[in-house]
Structure 1
Amino acid sequence: MTPLKIDFVSDIACPWCAVGLGGLEQALERLQGEVQAKLHFQPFELNPHMPLGGQDLGEHLTEKYGSTPEQQAQIRQTITERGAEVGFVFNPNGRGRVYNTFDAHRLLHWAEGQGDGAQHALKKSLLEAYQGRAECVEDPQVLLASVAAAGLDVSAASAVLQSDAHTAEVRERQLFYTQAGIRSVPAVIINDKHLISGGQPVEVFEQALRRIALGEVG
């Protein structure tokens, strides 16, 4: 099997990141026996300056992208359909509000050192809390519930949240990917070299990963 290092640069505030992760996971399932992938979840804040309490989602999207309520509803429907294709169930009414996700990124960095699969499990748990149930992911109790759902040590995670642990490391990684030219997520980087942008369909991920594994792309 061909080993692949996969850096999944994303934010749990991004619904397309849930779609992209689902597509990547299904592609890797199809490639079992061909590739051996090691996933690393890297931080990227879509709204790094979002204040405590967040902002109404519709208001935020209008301010940031100039979209109308009708356009937002259409995009939400598209995302819901794409999520269903990869097994992710979005909250039918959307997220309601946009929250700061920096503490979630600190926990994801901590989880990276908690054993194989721990960071992946927490990422999925956090996406389900925010995108699936529209929970307030700046609330420590919501974050710790996600830690528990991922099967990780809640006491250790609570200690992280009550300190500034992993703050410098998360900021350093974010700066690295920003300086590397990442402007939107998800950004899936294979072997520190090949970039797959956006919440692509399963087939796109499968074809790209197979070609990279076979050395068909430079």
Structure 2
Amino acid sequence: MTDQPLRIDIISDVMCPWCVIGYRQLSRALEQTGVAHEIQWHPFELNPQMPAEGQNMREHIAEKYGSTPEQSAQSRAQMTALGDELEFEFSWDSDFRMHNTFNTHQLLHWAGELSRKHELKQALFKAHFTDCRNLSDNAVLNDIAGEIGLDREEAAAVLDDQRFAQAVRDAETFWTQQGIQGVPAVVFDRKHLVTGAQGVDNYVSILRQLAP
């Protein structure tokens, strides 16, 4: 018998709406079960070749997945409804944009060294999906760091000198070598991989199996 908290590794990208939904579902399940846990966030880039200026999401989805405008609208409506259930607001304006997230992952790595990665991750999700802020802009990233109480000037220095670039690349490589090809990907107890947003009930069932 062990009193160790259940380790939960979440591989995700700030651009991934299902990562927000999946995390919020998991969070609800953790609340319902009361399982002691420790969450670790890890980097994944959905679009590592995304240019600095980003791309309109509707254009991006059509190009990458071949979705029709109707399919894309239906998907957004589904995500909005799920977000409402989970108390998270998605704001899909007509020029909602996808961004390159390499710098966001570097900022998250830095925040992790200060034990603030989880808080920054949530702030970035809200900044992107609710507030439609430009996460391609380092000044915006620095502002978000400052808004949660991190040192804005140090955040700027981290992005200016790219001191964590290699660490982020190494972490991304590690997870792709483990077979992670899409996100969200959740690894429970370093052994059990669950992909996609599974729903609160399924996460409750998983948690009860792993932490009876």
* TM band (smaller chain): over 0.9
Q: How far is the alpha carbon of 1:151 from its aligned partner? A: 2.3
C-alpha distance in 2 between matches for 1:168 and 1:2: 31
Task: Please name the residue that 1:204 is paired with.
Answer: 202
Structure 1 residue 144 displacement after superposition? 1.5
Match for residue 81 of structure 1?
Answer: 81
Structure 2: 5+ residue stretches without partners: none
Instruction: Name the residue aligned to 2:179.
Output: 181
**Structure 1 residue aligned with 2:130:** 132
User: Which amino acid letter does the alignment assign opposite residue 113 of structure 1?
Assistant: E
CA distance in structure 1 between the aligned counterparts of 2:207 and 2:123, rounded to whole angstroms? 25
**Stretch moving more, 190-199 or 99-108:** 190-199
Cα distance in 1 for residues equivalent to 2:37 and 2:94: 32
Unaligned stretches of 5+ residues in structure 1: none
Q: TM-score, normalised by structure 2?
A: 0.94
The answer as to whether partners of 1:20 and 1:198 remain within 8 angstroms in 2 is yes
CA contact (8 A) 2:186 2:193 kept: yes
Q: Secondary structure at the match of 1:53?
A: coil
2:36 is paired with a residue of what secondary structure? strand
Structure 2 counterparts to residues 144-183 of structure 1, below 5 A:
144-183=142-181
Q: How far apart, CA to CA, are the structure 2 residues paired with 1:51 and 1:20?
A: 27
Residue 94 (structure 1) shift:
6.7
Counterpart amino acid of residue 188 in structure 2:
I
Measured in 2, the distance between the counterparts of 1:51 and 1:97 equals 12
1:95 CA displacement = 6.4
**Aligned-pair CA distance for 1:122:** 0.2
Task: Check conservation: 2:107, 2:155, Cα contact below 8 A.
Answer: yes
Q: Does 1:195 align with 2:197?
A: no
CA change 1:39–1:95 in 2 (3 A) is farther
CA offsets, 1:86-133, max 9 Å, x none?
111111427611110000000111111112xx1111000000011111
* 1:144-203 per-position Cα deviation (integer Å, ceiling 9, x unaligned): 222123222222211101111111111111111111111110001111111121122112
The structure-2 alpha-carbon separation of the partners of 1:94 and 1:151, relative to structure 1 and needing over 3 Å to count, comes to farther
Residues 1:95 and 1:189: Cα distance change in structure 2 (over 3 Å): farther
Residues 183 and 11 (structure 1), Cα distance of their counterparts in 2 relative to 1, 3 Å cut: same
Counterparts of 2:12 and 2:59 in 1: how far apart (Å)?
A: 22
Match of 2:9 in 1: 7
Give the conservation status (yes or no) of the 8 Å contact 1:54–1:98.
Answer: yes
Identity %: 43
Q: Distance in 1 between matches of 2:130 and 2:6?
A: 29
Compared CA separation, residues 39 and 163, structure 1 to 2 (3 A) = same
Q: Aligned residue pairs: how many?
A: 210
Distance 1:94 1:200, change over 3 A: farther
Offset of residue 27 of structure 1: 1.4
TM-score when scaled to structure 1? 0.92
Q: Quick one: structure 1 residues 25 and 151, their matched pair in 2 at CA, closer, same or farther if it must change by over 3 Å?
A: farther
**Separation in structure 1 between the aligned mates of residue 39 and residue 94 of structure 2, nearest angstrom:** 28
